[in-house]
Structure 1
């Protein structure tokens, strides 16, 4: 520490040694993903918002708390932490704060130039690219995406003063080339709604369904009624006034149209007519209500999540920022991945929705490990505060859904160009619930259901038994070298993911993708939270330890899916099988059984206020 302070003192007080003379040491270096082509140096005047992450020395203690309050057999189950308690557990040491402040000051950055997270573990500062290059001893370039032509400003490596390495975990945007995207939705435009009816066909016998039957029409189109029947939720009416809430995240200028929502309600949920959702803008995010600009992803998520959970209040977050972007002096300075901007925002608020669904992700191997781990830790903070986070598992099976070998992420990004399965992030984060997809009645795995094993995150303890059991049944040598058998396994659960009937720009559309499965499962979770909160019990919070425990102890809580597979990367992918599998996880939910469990056997440890 003494040499660092000496260097800073020379710069700040004596002003005899410029900041660049403080010895820099390489902090991070990456190979650009396959589809990114270097175009030329970035303009020195281009403003860029640097996010500097300070270490969280007590994160392991936060993780311990999270594990205890999420374990249904632990005496602390359901005793979620407050915003202040979580912030105290992720706060950096004072020495790190002062060291980073001194470093920034040597570059003329202090006071109002800086903004900080409530826990002081993030510092944001907007600087010209030229200054960022001096601070990080690097060079920024413009990179073009060969697939879509978009461009982005990044570097493949950066350095920090050597004695700052222990006080800064990462700085972005630097090496982050990932491209946040929605799941690959499939469209089939319907001519007339009457053609979707199948009134003459007898109902399908499904013992786990409400009344043991599901309308035959659900094999042609999925509606709110189909989900309620199939997942045994018919007849449950949530309070809507007990403090329970559900949220949907929106990115990439995807707008949730209120007129379409009203048409959807008139079609499938007439008791919800004239109700709407709360819109929250993050960093200037918009929700344009021009009918022609309605977003398929946003409409799907909002219509089914809020339609299933009505009258539970719904929130739609629209986060600005669409990386990659066209770089110029007038370009907006938000060049970070927008879901981390959303995380910063929601963590700063006291009462976020207890259930939140997201249908956007990156290829895991395009996300620098330091960034992925830090973002994952932020998801853990929300879980500790009683928030359940659902993410679509992906729409490329065990691949990334790209059929072009030149841009396919089934090839490793380490120079070897080795074929490898392509899990997504954030679904691979062990602190979120990853949702795969099914189709038809009786349910089978839908072919595009994303699944597999993380190459970055180790398998967490809560899924050790279920995943090990699957791996033991897998024929020896199957896909050897194509996946990491010790990695965090996805998905955790599944739900219907195709033939969803929504309204888009005033028209009836049939749409599919795990982007349908995640809001559907989130709607069921919101109903479960409502049942608990109405009985004075806490929200479910981080779900995964509970889900795997229920699957083992109360197998009827999930509908096990044993037919289907998820091809990708030139392979048939994995097979759905008895128990957990990397196509449909533990299976699809049985709301009625889960409600009885969660207001009964796993309710008695709840803390009383």
Structure 2
């Protein structure tokens, strides 16, 4: 498609100096398809995208020395390595992922042929991402493609996307990917259940703690109150995970971050009422709020988000007085607006990564309860985002992600309605892994239920189709696979893929305050921040002992850390018309290595220097 002169005469936009094409030589270069996808199921095109709709294109430049970063990450994360805990600075990490100068020059010259100069660019801190704002008409000219408005047949959400784009052949070695183009992902919060048996009961705000019942139920050497079999509270988690009596510091610089997306607002009134009920010493405490990409945090009680309330109440309730940060990131992949007038079609997760990577001192622990079906995320984009997360790990950040709430299924909460078909045009029946849960550079948290714990039926788990199995989990995963009956689920999963979850925690019947009322909620949205809180307490213990924080956890968890985890051996995660995988002795793709024993983990990490 050519940019017509009538379009040039009509449009005057402040973010580009000119739209003229001064150097036809690059335009005449043969364009070759860079990426092509099959439209995922349930997405249908409505028609051409409006020519004046603005896209913020993210151009990923190759990271030729990423292998050096990966090597460095594993060195500082391996408890048996001499460099364990010697994390890298922001500047050192950026140097390892910086693009080659020839790629920078090639991309700059290409953009200049479309009148896009340096003042029109936004670069990531490492220079490996370049962002530009252009109208659809210009994006189509640059990428030799056609954008359409696509609607999701299940809920009517709209998104502006294309199924393929092309670049001049000489640019292929210098541009790894461009989005939004072929990405149809639908970022979602990990919630399988939301129960409000007491939702007609107003929460009474009071300053006195409820009486803690006598501990009577024995689980080996751990005593847990019998009420915890029906309702999970902060006290239940502290008892079950052997954290009772540990007091974190308010002055050692430890911070626990929580991410929020999709207009999930963290309500301060709800948080304070929860503290009054279950953590009275935290009443009137505050947290830092960071808005990214226009993210909001409305305090209208009717807009209080159960996801954000759950994450904050349990993560910070378990770790108080450790500092807290809530990141509210605006935007979402599909925008539900009137037809042909979408105003924001960018995927918000990348905006959060950009922001955090640009911070000199990010939180030592960050919990995320969002993700998507791996197959709806183009592999090039998934790999790049995963590599960005590795940067945070090398800098000493522990990243915890919920594993998903649909077992091995495709995101439909009714297992009977799960289709579990591939989106590659072949429509093969396969288990559907989640991303970023499948990224090998994060710690993924599955779910359990009950006291004593068994695997909860919705615990997401399985094997990535994008990422190969990392060496740190070779022994654990091959041990599990060797115990599977021959031929079981053959062809439904990738036995050589990155396996998840890594660990687990309780994920059902959590008592929260939402919109001023008390109720119960469940999902790996509960287990993720719970395990993150335990990690934050471990970081607190190391900081208070003069030791560096833990950073990327998995090499530790799969070695020395196993002794501080309680193996979960019962339950399964059904989906796709199957019973899914079984929990069993050792690692399994339902509960991972097991649930945390804070006291034992603390002893391990304090003896690991």
TM-score range, shorter chain: over 0.9
Check if 1:389 corresponds to 2:399.
yes
The 5 Å alignment of 1:444-523 reads 444-523=454-533
Who is 1:74 aligned against?
81
Offset of residue 419 of structure 1: 1.1
Which of the residues 49, 52, 61 maps onto 2:68? 61
Per the alignment, do residues 137 and 207 of structure 1 end up closer, same or farther by CA in structure 2, a change over 3 Å counting?
same
Per-residue CA deviations over 1:204-228 (Å, capped at 9, x if unaligned) read 101242xxx1000000100000000
TM-score when scaled to structure 1? 0.93
1:34·1:406 contact (CA, 8 Å) conserved in 2? no
Check if 1:295 corresponds to 2:305.
yes
Who is 1:93 aligned against?
100
- Superposed CA RMSD: 2.0
Who is 2:359 aligned against?
349
Per the alignment, do residues 193 and 40 of structure 1 end up closer, same or farther by CA in structure 2, a change over 3 Å counting?
closer
The 5 Å alignment of 1:185-200 reads 185-191=192-198
Who is 2:15 aligned against?
none
- Distance in 1, Cα, partners of 2:197 & 2:284: 25
Who is 1:106 aligned against?
113
- Distance in 2, Cα, partners of 1:160 & 1:407: 40
- Distance in 2, Cα, partners of 1:94 & 1:540: 34
Which of the residues 268, 273, 279 maps onto 2:289? 279
Which of the residues 185, 197, 204 maps onto 2:217? 204
Match of 1:52, SS state, is strand
Who is 1:132 aligned against?
139
Offset of residue 296 of structure 1: 0.4
Check if 1:259 corresponds to 2:266.
no
Offset of residue 405 of structure 1: 9.4
1:208·1:230 contact (CA, 8 Å) conserved in 2? no
Check if 1:435 corresponds to 2:448.
no
Per the alignment, do residues 406 and 42 of structure 1 end up closer, same or farther by CA in structure 2, a change over 3 Å counting?
farther
Aligned positions, number:
582
Per the alignment, do residues 440 and 328 of structure 1 end up closer, same or farther by CA in structure 2, a change over 3 Å counting?
same
Consecutive unaligned residues in structure 2, runs of 5 or more = 1-18, 204-209
- Distance in 1, Cα, partners of 2:415 & 2:486: 28
Which of the residues 154, 171, 175 maps onto 1:147? 154
TM-score when scaled to structure 2? 0.93
Who is 1:166 aligned against?
173
Match of 1:286, SS state, is coil
Who is 1:538 aligned against?
548
Which of the residues 18, 30, 35 maps onto 1:23? 30
- Distance in 2, Cα, partners of 1:205 & 1:408: 39
Consecutive unaligned residues in structure 1, runs of 5 or more = 1-11, 604-609
Find runs of 4+ consecutive structure 1 residues off by over 6 angstroms: 197-202, 327-330, 404-407
2:213·2:225 contact (CA, 8 Å) conserved in 1? no
Per-residue CA deviations over 1:145-177 (Å, capped at 9, x if unaligned) read 011111111000000010000000000000000
Offset of residue 202 of structure 1: 7.0
Per the alignment, do residues 572 and 405 of structure 1 end up closer, same or farther by CA in structure 2, a change over 3 Å counting?
closer
- Distance in 2, Cα, partners of 1:21 & 1:364: 36
